[in-house]
Structure 1
Amino acid sequence: MFDGITRRVVSMWFPRLPCDRVLRARPVDAPFALTLKQNNTDRVYCLNRQAEKLGLSRGMPFSDARAFCPDLLSQPADPRSDARFLATLCRWATRYCPWVGPEGEDGLVLDITGAAHLLGGEADLLADMRRRMARAGLTLQLGLADTRGAAWALAHHGEGVAEPGDMLAALGSLPVTALRLPEDTITGLQRLGLRRVSDLAVAPRAPLARRFGRGVLMRLDQALGAQPETITPMAAPPHYAVRLTLPEPVGLVDDVMAGTARLLDRLCDRLKERETGARRLCLTLRRIDQSNQQVELRLASAMRDAKRILPLFERGVAGIEAGFGIDQMRLEAVQVEALPVQQVSSVSQDSTQRLDDLITRIGTRIGLENVQRFLPADSHIPERSFLIAPAAYARAEGPWYTPRPRPVRLFLPEPIAGAGPRPPRRLRWRRMALDTARATGPERIAPEWWMEDDGWRSGVRDYWQVDTRQGRRLWLFYTPQNPGWFVQGEFA
């Protein structure tokens, strides 16, 4: 107690948080599981209610789960997205009280001391939580008690409310797993016959401390209120925004750019302190008539160099309608990424920086998503040996590797006349009569049996590099199973 007020804590546990997050976007009326690779084995990470009713459990090999339930739907788990979703729930829960923190990977803890009456009391507050979470499609179990440990125990073992006062009466009948102890410790206590919290509370403390360490008694005392346990709220995300109020309205492009330069210097200093870089910037200009003009800048890479960023604003600022003048400027880094400090190298990075700046300039006109680059893909099939991705959001990792030369131009196979496994001496392609001067090959490429591709159903292909006397260098292939010749590419 403090100042005559009993501390009250709510534990919100989401037992199926990963599955609920995925199924909110794409509901399914069937057994569903999320899988995660652990020790080179796909295991069940989370299950929906229908899958649990069939006897499936977390941690079991996914192959065993499919054997028990052939109709089981699955999807790879995404723990990072789950963590972001829990952080969103944490910010949402501040509607009930200001002191909200995460509880593991699937729960929240709220200190509602002195705040429950704002929603009509504890019962109405818990009912409101259940109603909102049910509307959002999330499974929720609640626990309310005087301590954080007791609230967690009630949420995870039956969902209940402990009246203010004696926590042992509320927790005594619960198993020792309700005390947030390690698995090996729980097994050791159960072997000694200490299966419930009441058994542990009356057991001699000195032998327990010698055998299991001080952690067991600390968890017990925290749950019963004999030892305090703090609740650390989730820190608010850093806000990267700076503002400049002008003594006199301005309307010239040079004046606005000068103000933008001052804002960029301050913003980049703040980004540097946290070792982050901006990917999207928003410059808001307030006019005298209280209307706003905005200039959005999307960068091809994370930056915090004011001198590099400032010229990229020129095109947007030049298109601003200043009206009777601009009296306030605000610059915000809407999207940021980690940009740790790097060791200064003797190798110049100017070429990379100039390329990023060029992509940014082109992207401001046609959109960053429309500036694309080729990336190597892990496939020996010619059509699948590359990917096309936005240049601003994809970096080439590693060199291109091909066991044999590949053509500069690759197109759909075009049939030509020919017989036998060797390239024809004369061929006609695209209304051109060509004579074979030299043929190099064959290079046999087999289809990827695990991929569905109608173009490779004919089986293996024998590829040849054919140099013609007319100067054309073609990439031909022959299909032994269904004899025929095709042209698929042209070398430079």
Structure 2
Amino acid sequence: LAPLPVAALRLAPETASGLARLGIRRIGDLTGMPRAGLARRFGQDLVRRLDQALGVEPEPISPAGAPLHFAVRLSLPEPIGLQADILGGLDRLLPPLCDKLRARGRGARRLRLEMLRAEGGTEVIEIGLARPADRPDSLRPLFELKLGDLDAGFGFDVLRLCAPVTEPLHATTHKGGWAVAAEARADRTDGQALDDLIARIGARVGLDRITREHPADSHIPEKTQSTQAAAYSAPAPDWPAPARPRPLTLFRPEPVTAPATPDLPARFRWRGRDFEIRAAHGPERIAPEWWLDDPNWRSGVRDYWRVTTTQGARLWLFFAHGATLSGGWFAQGDFG
């Protein structure tokens, strides 16, 4: 250890630099120095690290456990290339892999099927799931959807199936009477069916392209919901009702031709059509989030109105008072 630098003792950076300023750059320079002086000047941590390196003070180490590994392999006496044969091999691989997963209380979130060609090279199929699964009947159809684009060449002589991404899969029990248990089973069946549907569509277009909306806490109309990946989020349990009515259709603000004053106009022009207001409710003032620079809200404070026109349209209009951008009248929603 003597020729190693003092930094090898895992010292704090300020301690190592302090020793260097005194010309102590190697561990061998420390071993012959008075311990009391070192501890008084640099603290007990320096002496403790030196003792641990020399074996005087024990330093128990807890080794990291081996990572979980779930994989099965099938070697074939003759190469195969037909889709039916590959599915037959998959039927041999899925049950033992699922048995391994169940033995460790895990479910697969991603599976990879590696097919080694007889002449060299590998074809790989990967599938993702919306919920951890350990049942062959829910995994096999996802692979079947992707077998049509394979290049078998002279055939595959080795199939390897592995689960690189797994999650805990806990058994659930429901307390209560027969009706409660039946309802819980029905809810679980519906949830599993939805997850299977998401996995099937995800096998075609990708799981990241399937999204669901969740409510978000914001007074800004465009930010009252957040978009999340459906495969990695649960359905929103309850969508809170807004404090004030909101339109069924919300779109980006579109200019409305009307006098540029805060007073609600009797007539306006929007999307090339003239409208006359029959009834209106408002204004509801909404201010931009001052701590965020949102380009869509640089027109400043908005006064929203729910208007009903003589033509039957029920629209959500607002007047922007102007800030870094000019204000005016805009339409942002349709109540249907």
Q: Return the TM-score normalized by structure 1.
A: 0.54
What's the counterpart of residue 286 of structure 1? 116
Question: Where do residues 120-139 of structure 1 align in structure 2 (5 Å cutoff)?
Answer: 123=3
Cα displacement (A) at 1:252: 3.3
- The Cα offsets for residues 235-279 of structure 1, whole Å up to 9 and x where unpaired, read as 332222211223444333233223213322222333334443333
Contact 1:162/1:170 (8 A) holds in 2: no
Assess, with a 3 A threshold, how the Cα gap between structure 1 residues 484 and 318 changes in structure 2: closer, same or farther: closer
- The Cα offsets for residues 184-221 of structure 1, whole Å up to 9 and x where unpaired, read as xxxxxxxxxxxx969xxxxxxxxxxxxxxxxxxxx998
Cα displacement (A) at 1:464: 1.6
- Asked if 1:339 is matched to 2:168, the reply is yes
What's the counterpart of residue 66 of structure 2? 236
Assess, with a 3 A threshold, how the Cα gap between structure 1 residues 455 and 220 changes in structure 2: closer, same or farther: closer
Contact 1:156/1:178 (8 A) holds in 2: no
**Counterparts of 2:210 and 2:192, CA distance in 1:** 16
- Asked if 1:439 is matched to 2:303, the reply is no
Assess, with a 3 A threshold, how the Cα gap between structure 1 residues 447 and 230 changes in structure 2: closer, same or farther: closer
- Asked if 1:352 is matched to 2:191, the reply is yes
- Same amino acid, percent of matched pairs: 43
Question: Where do residues 466-481 of structure 1 align in structure 2 (5 Å cutoff)?
Answer: 466-479=307-320
Residue 328 of structure 2: which of 484, 488, 492 is its match?
484
User: Which amino acid is 2:107 matched to?
Assistant: G
User: Which amino acid is 1:466 matched to?
Assistant: V
Cα displacement (A) at 1:388: 3.4
What's the counterpart of residue 86 of structure 2? 256
**Counterparts of 2:103 and 2:113, CA distance in 1:** 21
3-state SS, counterpart of residue 392 of structure 1? helix
User: Which amino acid is 1:462 matched to?
Assistant: D
3-state SS, counterpart of residue 193 of structure 2? helix
User: Which amino acid is 1:465 matched to?
Assistant: R
Residue 222 of structure 2: which of 367, 380, 383 is its match?
383
Question: Where do residues 42-121 of structure 1 align in structure 2 (5 Å cutoff)?
Answer: none
What's the counterpart of residue 38 of structure 2? 174
3-state SS, counterpart of residue 289 of structure 1? coil
**Counterparts of 1:387 and 1:478, CA distance in 2:** 26
Cα displacement (A) at 1:142: 0.9
Between 304-313 and 349-358, report the one with greater CA deviation: 349-358
Contact 1:141/1:156 (8 A) holds in 2: no
Assess, with a 3 A threshold, how the Cα gap between structure 1 residues 457 and 287 changes in structure 2: closer, same or farther: closer
Assess, with a 3 A threshold, how the Cα gap between structure 1 residues 367 and 224 changes in structure 2: closer, same or farther: closer
Residue 296 of structure 1: which of 119, 126, 131 is its match?
126
Cα displacement (A) at 1:360: 2.5
Cα displacement (A) at 1:225: 4.1
**Counterparts of 2:251 and 2:141, CA distance in 1:** 40
- Asked if 1:453 is matched to 2:297, the reply is no
**Counterparts of 2:236 and 2:33, CA distance in 1:** 60
3-state SS, counterpart of residue 174 of structure 1? helix
User: Which amino acid is 1:237 matched to?
Assistant: P
**Counterparts of 2:64 and 2:50, CA distance in 1:** 25
**Counterparts of 1:227 and 1:376, CA distance in 2:** 56
Tell me how many residue pairs correspond in the alignment: 312
Considering Cα pairs closer than 8 Å and 6+ residues apart, tell me whether 1 or 2 has the greater RCO.
Answer: 2
What's the counterpart of residue 203 of structure 2? 364
**Counterparts of 1:304 and 1:487, CA distance in 2:** 51
Assess, with a 3 A threshold, how the Cα gap between structure 1 residues 174 and 398 changes in structure 2: closer, same or farther: farther
Contact 1:167/1:224 (8 A) holds in 2: no
Give unpaired runs (5+ residues) of structure 1. 1-7, 9-121, 128-139, 144-151, 181-195, 199-218
Contact 1:249/1:325 (8 A) holds in 2: yes
**Counterparts of 2:124 and 2:86, CA distance in 1:** 12
User: Which amino acid is 2:271 matched to?
Assistant: R
Residue 374 of structure 1: which of 198, 213, 222 is its match?
213
Cα displacement (A) at 1:370: 2.6
3-state SS, counterpart of residue 267 of structure 1? helix
User: Which amino acid is 1:240 matched to?
Assistant: F
**Counterparts of 2:36 and 2:161, CA distance in 1:** 57
**Counterparts of 1:295 and 1:264, CA distance in 2:** 14
Between 413-422 and 313-322, report the one with greater CA deviation: 413-422
Contact 2:132/2:169 (8 A) holds in 1: no
- The Cα offsets for residues 33-79 of structure 1, whole Å up to 9 and x where unpaired, read as xxxxxxxxxxxxxxxxxxxxxxxxxxxxxxxxxxxxxxxxxxxxxxx
Structure 1 vs Structure 2 CA RMSD:
3.7
What's the counterpart of residue 326 of structure 1? 156
User: Which amino acid is 1:174 matched to?
Assistant: L
Residue 161 of structure 1: which of 27, 31, 38 is its match?
27
- The Cα offsets for residues 334-354 of structure 1, whole Å up to 9 and x where unpaired, read as 233x33414234422233323
**Counterparts of 2:61 and 2:31, CA distance in 1:** 18
Contact 1:167/1:225 (8 A) holds in 2: no
Assess, with a 3 A threshold, how the Cα gap between structure 1 residues 417 and 250 changes in structure 2: closer, same or farther: closer
Cα displacement (A) at 1:226: 5.2
- The Cα offsets for residues 387-414 of structure 1, whole Å up to 9 and x where unpaired, read as 3343334445553333223223222222
- The Cα offsets for residues 412-461 of structure 1, whole Å up to 9 and x where unpaired, read as 22232445655433332212233333322222111111111344334321
